[in-house]
Amino acid sequence: MTFEEESAGTGADTPAPDGGAGRAVRIGNASGFYGDRLSGFDEMVAAGVDVITGDYLAELTMLILARQKQQDPTLGYAKTFLTQLGRSLDRVVAAGTRVVANAGGMNPAGLAAALRDLAAERDVDLDIAYVDGDDLTDSAQALGLGSPLAANAYLGGWGITEALRRGAQIVVTGRVTDAAVITGAAAWFHAWGRTDYDRLAGAMAAGHVIECGMQATGGNFAFFEEITDLLRPGFPIAEISADGDSVITKPAGTGGAVTAETVLSQLLYEIAGARYPGPDATLRLDSLSLAADGPDRVRISGAIGEAPPPDLKVSVTEIGGFRQQLTFPLVGLRIAEKAELIARQYAHGLEQSGLPSPERMEWFLARTDHPDAATEETAAARLTLVARDPNPKVVGRAFANLAVEFALGSIPGFFTDGPPADATVYGRFRPGFVPQRVPAHTAHLADGSELRIPPPDEALALAPTELDTRSAGAAAPETAVRPSPAAPDGVTLALGELFGARSGDKGATANVGVWARSAAGWEWLRTELTIDRLRELLPEAAALPITRVELANLRAVNFVIEDILGEGVAYGARFDPQAKGLGEWLRSRHVSVPRRLAAQRGLHPEPLPHEPPTRTAERLGNAQ
């Protein structure tokens, strides 16, 4: 049975609650990652949402689940989803709430089977469907993707939509885009078509905001001190209208806050240029407007969508090798000299031991020490050795034991962070691409039938806009501390006293989105925070290619820094392997701003510019 045959009308369709028009669909997120708090489903059922969604997959999660399935073919899915749903199952069934989650990971069929067993144990009638076709592991070599542990295409939401149309109450998927669980549900509820790009783009924006859960309700927010109750933020809800506009909110009485800035900061999370691509549509981020819509309610409007790109991104996950990490706390005086001696002693010990040298060895010295410190820990710096090799024995316990051998003949106050240990495996992530037609995108229904989801009929190659600027790497600056040239009326302060930021990872790259809290701040930000200036403020990125885009409607600039994360989060290239704190480091750097701008410290943010949604490409100019 094909998608086209079913779409022609067989009488099997379950009509959407609003018949394609009328009220907004209320979609709540109950999980932002594999390991989120278990009460999320309870909270969303209590809030009376139409659809509960959950995001369980990330690059590191796919590595974990792939290894699980390798060891046990019945596993490979997010087991906590069963626990979460099980807590609320009776209420979900009674209320008729739909549930859509990507918790299937590497084995959506296995999760669907486990859910059917759970329903049988509880003696409840539950229509369960699953969506797959994303797993390209077996054909990876033929597709030019090598021989990875796992290769998964990022599918869109139409398999979800069709499963819901056929009456499924629970839909679990493999690797779909993070926003697809939201767009698939919205397209079902409002009976959207494949070319309703503006509407789909609006749902993509809402989905991007809520898919990381509490990050939309005050979690990881730059100005966290302004949120009065951050002990236990509520999970977010997106009320998506038939035209694609949405309101982001949260259940009444829960902690956290939904403001234009909490929504804005999440919009900037893990993005690249002005075009935000998905398998079903491409969202123009520069078309969005945000406006308050009441307490803990923010409206996202004006989304302009384009046809999706012709290719799908593929998550290619590999075992990169084995890793050993040793940390030497260095206390007191002459920190640099102590670090240099330990590094030389280790190299000498390795040479004398006859052990093979690791493929890669890196030393990092973090100057966390303070002069005249009141505690020993605050008087200490940390020297870290990271060694990697394809052979676990090369960086195993014998390699680590070298630090013990010179322990009594080294620096004063020598000690390490723990005894020698075995090497640990590390993963490698790299993106790949395949044509949209390659994955066998399929919805498997409760009655055993299958619906094949065809690729889109039209596609638009992804291209930069005139807002996107890319610069190759530059020479590292001479000094790590280089404040802005002070104007005659300038004031030097930390960037974060006036500007917010949010950062995150995508494979080897990291993004840092920075936003201004006022019109005056925006004029300074767009003029002063150039790519060259970012390199000065973040010396670790100085030699790397960087792309910059301005999003005037959001008073924000976004930077994408290539190769700063090595081979992805599982590789552990930095002590902050997912670049979560990169934005906060940037906010801590000192800059010089005009005195009139510095006077805005501590003031409430000004409302963002807001235009009535016209949804015409003329608003964006000729932006190919």
pLDDT in tens, 8-19: 333 356 656 654
- Checking if the pLDDT of 470 tops 50, the result is yes
- Checking if the pLDDT of 479 tops 80, the result is no
Average pLDDT on 94-116 reads: 97
Name, in order, each residue with C-beta under 8 angstroms of 488's C-beta and a sequence gap of 6 or more: none
Percent of the chain at pLDDT exceeding 70? 92
pLDDT, tens digit (0-9, with 9 covering 90-100), for 409-459: 999 999 999 999 999 999 999 999 999 999 999 999 999 999 999 999 999
Q: How confident is the model at residue 20 (pLDDT cuts 50, 70, 90)?
A: very low
Quick count: other Cβ atoms within 10 Å of Cβ 229?
12
Cα of first residue to Cα of last residue in the chain, in angstroms, is 39
pLDDT, tens digit (0-9, with 9 covering 90-100), for 348-402: 999 999 999 999 999 999 999 999 999 999 999 999 999 999 999 999 999 999 9
pLDDT, tens digit (0-9, with 9 covering 90-100), for 42-99: 999 999 999 999 999 988 899 999 999 999 999 999 999 999 999 999 999 999 999 9
Q: How confident is the model at residue 573 (pLDDT cuts 50, 70, 90)?
A: confident
- Checking if the pLDDT of 596 tops 70, the result is yes
User: For residue 151, what pLDDT is reported?
Assistant: 98
Strands annotated E in 98-179 = 98-101, 128-132, 150-153, 170-173
Spatial distance between the Cα atoms of 145 and 177, rounded to a whole number of angstroms: 19
Spatial distance between the Cα atoms of 220 and 235, rounded to a whole number of angstroms: 13
Q: Where in the chain are all domains bearing CATH 3.30.70? A: 317-427
Q: How confident is the model at residue 620 (pLDDT cuts 50, 70, 90)?
A: low
Spatial distance between the Cα atoms of 529 and 532, rounded to a whole number of angstroms: 8
Tokens 């390490």 -> residue: 416
pLDDT, tens digit (0-9, with 9 covering 90-100), for 491-508: 999 999 999 999 999 889
Strands annotated E in 124-176 = 128-132, 150-153, 170-173
| Angle between helix 180-190 and 158-165 (nearest 10) | 40
User: For residue 570, what pLDDT is reported?
Assistant: 80
Q: Characterize 76-103 residue by residue with b for buried, 16 or more Cβ atoms within 10 angstroms of its Cβ, and e for exposed.
A: bbbbbbbebbbbbbeebbeeebbbbbbb
User: For residue 608, what pLDDT is reported?
Assistant: 93
User: For residue 59, what pLDDT is reported?
Assistant: 86
Lowest-pLDDT range of 21-35, 197-211, 338-352, 610-624? 610-624
pLDDT, tens digit (0-9, with 9 covering 90-100), for 118-128: 999 999 999 99
Both structure tokens of 255 = 């902690």
User: For residue 384, what pLDDT is reported?
Assistant: 97
User: For residue 4, what pLDDT is reported?
Assistant: 40
User: For residue 106, what pLDDT is reported?
Assistant: 98
CATH number of 317-427: 3.30.70
User: For residue 612, what pLDDT is reported?
Assistant: 53
User: For residue 9, what pLDDT is reported?
Assistant: 33
- Checking if the pLDDT of 319 tops 60, the result is yes
Instruction: Give every strand in the sheet of 509-516, ordered side by side.
Output: 468-471, 546-551, 556-561, 509-516, 499-506
Q: How confident is the model at residue 407 (pLDDT cuts 50, 70, 90)?
A: very high
Instruction: Please tell me whether residue 525 adopts helix, strand or coil conformation.
Output: helix
Query: Kind and range of the H or E element at 519?
Result: helix 519-528
Asked if 147 contacts 304 with a C-beta cutoff of 8 angstroms, the reply is: no
pLDDT, tens digit (0-9, with 9 covering 90-100), for 162-189: 999 999 999 999 999 999 999 999 999 9
- Checking if the pLDDT of 341 tops 70, the result is yes
pLDDT, tens digit (0-9, with 9 covering 90-100), for 207-239: 999 999 999 999 999 999 999 999 999 999 999
Arithmetic mean of pLDDT over the chain: 92
Spatial distance between the Cα atoms of 417 and 357, rounded to a whole number of angstroms: 23
pLDDT, tens digit (0-9, with 9 covering 90-100), for 243-260: 999 999 999 999 999 999
Quick count: other Cβ atoms within 10 Å of Cβ 467?
21
- Checking if the pLDDT of 480 tops 90, the result is no
Percent of the chain at pLDDT exceeding 90? 87
User: For residue 13, what pLDDT is reported?
Assistant: 63
Half-sphere exposure of 257 (CA within 13 A, CB side): 18
Higher-scoring residue by pLDDT: 22, 442 = 442
